Chain A
Amino acid sequence: MYEFDWSSIPGSLPFLWQGMMISLGITIVAVAAGIAWGTVLAVMRLSPSRPISLFATLYVSLFRSVPLVMVLLWFFLIVPSLLRDVLRLSHATDLRLASAMVGFSLFEAAYYSEIMRAGIQSVSKGQSSAALALGMTPLQAMWHVVLPQAFRNMVPLLLTQAIILFQDTSLVYVSALADFFGAAYKVGDRDGRLVEMLLFAGAVYFVLCSAASWGVRVLRRRVLA
């Protein structure tokens, strides 16, 4: 019978906390940048210009057709050397966090763009007609009239996607970056208490994400009401 030994946890809490900050940091940056770039992609995709919409379509289907972990690996391998060349940084500078943020942002933008596209299409055509009839350009109509409503309609979906993203940040373990999951793994490995640490980490993810999902459900009810 396996004997559980949870004694590694209390001493490693500060280290785990640092890891949680990295996980949350990546999530926040990727959600913000992903929604911004995803919205641009959604608008491009609905553009009457063929090359512009084709670019957005290709971008979205490319990122949706490859595994996230592979995208992250590319970015760990490519972005650091690229940034070092461009910014003339020393090899000692740790760019793993930056490349994780870039990789997640570009990847998530593909998913956010699909959500925003649905959001834009959920706003009635009469709204943009009214904006155009007032003399706004198509971009002004999009920015002042359609996007605010699209965004509001899609808040629950955008947040749900953010929760998934938060879980996916654990994939940065491929770069040995100590996010929350990576930190828990390291501690467990060091103390020979991997089972306990991974159970603990799983419980933390479970509590945080189900609390957030519950929050989204409450919000959705209020948005629909």
Chain B
Amino acid sequence: MISLRNVHKSYGHVQVLNGCSAEIRKGEVIVVCGPSGSGKSTLIKCINGLEPIDRGEIVVEGVSVGARGTDLPKLRARVGMVFQHFELFPHMTVMDNLTLAQVKVLGRGADQARQKAGALLDRVGLREHAAKHPGQLSGGQQQRVAIARALALDPVCMLFDEPTSALDPEMINEVLDVMTALARDGMTMVVVTHEMGFARKVANRVVFMDQGCIVEQAPSAEFFAAPKSERAQQFLSKVLEH
């Protein structure tokens, strides 16, 4: 469903992605991990074209992301994205956050959009907060709204860019629970995260990155039991120690 072929990207002299290749099949949950600055976030931002790539190719459901003539807005509407800092629209209510793109991008009617939004707010357990503004919600609640907002467009896959990194510890689980339920429902997901418990329990495969390269990809059980590369071993010993 998503394939990355030899993707290169640099900011000036800094090479952030250095020949990354990976295949993600429908229904798979992939966790991308690695030390900070390894290019994980950049990699998933390239998948929906938020970051342009210099070389290589990214194909999502048969559409080449960087190609001339690709309708990027149309492609992005089919790829949901959740950000580290939620990025809910602070000047709108929760309900309007969920309906805006449905109406403006997909052309749904207002009633249909509100119905869809209501059902999704139920799913993330926040129906009663529909009329509030994002600033009135806790971080965990905001991130759940952000997930619902992305789901409102019926995406074929979801990208998560460190969805719990900006959260207080006690709020991490409510977000991971929503993501776990989503994975159980068969959503294709690419998740950049440091939550190794989530990776172990939910991910089908782990992609380990370091210095702009994909160093290792393996089924998650295999990766956690016996990481092959030395760098992955070092990384795991650091994050799993505590």
Seen from chain A, the residues whose Cβ lies within 8 Å of a Cβ on chain B are 124, 126-127, 129-137, 140, 144-145, 148-149, 152
Contact = CB atoms under 8 A, between A and B. Distances in A.
Contacts of B45: 129
Contact of B50 (A127, A132, A152): A132
B30 interface: no
Contacts of A132: 50, 73, 76
Nearest to A145: B89
Nearest to B49: A132
Contacts of A148: 91
A136 B81 CA distance: 13
A137 B104 CA distance: 10
A75 B172 CA distance: 62
A19 B74 CA distance: 55
A137 B77 CA distance: 10
Q: Which of A126, A127, A133, A137 gathers the greatest number of chain B CB atoms within 10 Å? A: A133
A152 B45 CA distance: 29
Nearest to B90: A149
Contacts of B80: 133
Given A127-B89, A129-B83, A129-B87, A135 B77 contact: yes
A127 B74 CA distance: 19
Given A134-B153, A135-B101, A145-B89, A129 B77 contact: no
Interface string B77-94: 111110101011111000
A149 B134 CA distance: 14
A196 to B, nearest CB: 50
Contacts of B76: 132-135
Contacts of A124: 85, 87
15 contacts: A127-B87, A129-B83, A132-B76, A133-B48, A133-B79, A133-B80, A134-B153, A135-B73, A135-B78, A135-B101, A135-B105, A136-B105, A137-B73, A144-B89, A149-B91
B150 to A, nearest CB: 7
Given A130-B87, A152-B91, A144 B73 contact: no
B50 A133 contact: yes
A130 B77 CA distance: 11
Nearest to B74: A135
B73 A136 contact: yes
Interface string B149-192: 11001000000000000000000000000000000000000000
B87 A144 contact: no
A134 B91 contact: no
Interface string B45-89: 100101000000000000000000000011011111101010111
Contacts of B87: 124, 126-127, 129-130
Interface string B94-109: 0000001100111000
The 3 nearest A-B residue pairs measured at CB: A135-B77, A130-B87, A134-B101
A145 B80 CA distance: 18
Nearest to A146: B89
A208 B160 CA distance: 53
Contacts of A131: 89, 101
